[in-house]
Amino acid sequence: MSDAKRKEDWSKPAAMAIPKGGYVGKPQQGRYGPIFPKTPACYGFSIMAKIIAGREPVFHEYARKIEAAVAADPHCLAILKLHYLRWVLFDIGGATYFMYQGIFDTDFDKYTEDAVSLFAATGIDTVFENLEGFPKDWKTNAPAFVKFVREHQQPSFLEYGEYPYVSADEIKKALALKASFSTMLDQMQ
């Protein structure tokens, strides 16, 4: 068993303190820059940015759009390898800020272009277009998109996992297995 495997024990809840800056030791290099570490809460980001004044209704409209898109095709976000996404609006000194927090299973930039393509292809107008400083050519310029995301990422200083390092696919497989066993036991009656 490799060191990485030994460390990633789902049965032992784990917490990780993360040094200032968000990296543990020398960060691994990804295609678009250094990669934030995998923690007991898997990979993730917390992107915070100021919204363009007066655009708040667009964000609520976007929420309804995403809800409908996922209802129409429950797997439409599958390529993002997600566990959870949270979108938050909050005030600082009278201005509205936006937080986009995601927990997912691949490192920061592995599937970046896929994410950009997904947003572009599904016609989901991303709320990012209503953030100050977001590149207008994001649909065709992945590096500019990545740059914006990286500049607005606020790394965690502490993360915790009750079932650490487990991927969404592994969880889904375990649940499917459980369901299969239930069916099997039913058939044995």
Q: Which residues bind another protein (CB under 8 A)?
A: 2, 4-5, 28-32, 79, 106, 110-111, 113-114, 117-118, 120, 139-143, 167, 169-170, 173
Integer angstrom CA distances of residue 158 from 54, 75, 94, 151, 153: 34, 30, 29, 20, 15
Residue 65 or 110 having the CB closest to another protein = 110
Residue 86 or 173 having the CB closest to another protein = 173
Residue 63 or 79 having the CB closest to another protein = 79
Residue 1 or 71 having the CB closest to another protein = 1
Q: How far is the CB of 54 from another protein (least distance, A)?
A: 30
- Residues paired with residue 34 on neighbouring β-strands, in sequence order: 29
AA identity, residue 100: Y
Q: How far is the CB of 59 from another protein (least distance, A)?
A: 26
Q: How far is the CB of 48 from another protein (least distance, A)?
A: 25
> What is the crossing angle of helices 142-152 and 112-122, to 10°?
110
The phi and psi torsions of 50 (rounded to 5 degrees) equal: -80, 140
Q: How far is the CB of 65 from another protein (least distance, A)?
A: 20
Distance in angstroms (rounded) separating the CA atoms of residues 172 and 174 = 5
* Contact call for residues 150 and 9 (beta carbons, < 8 A): no
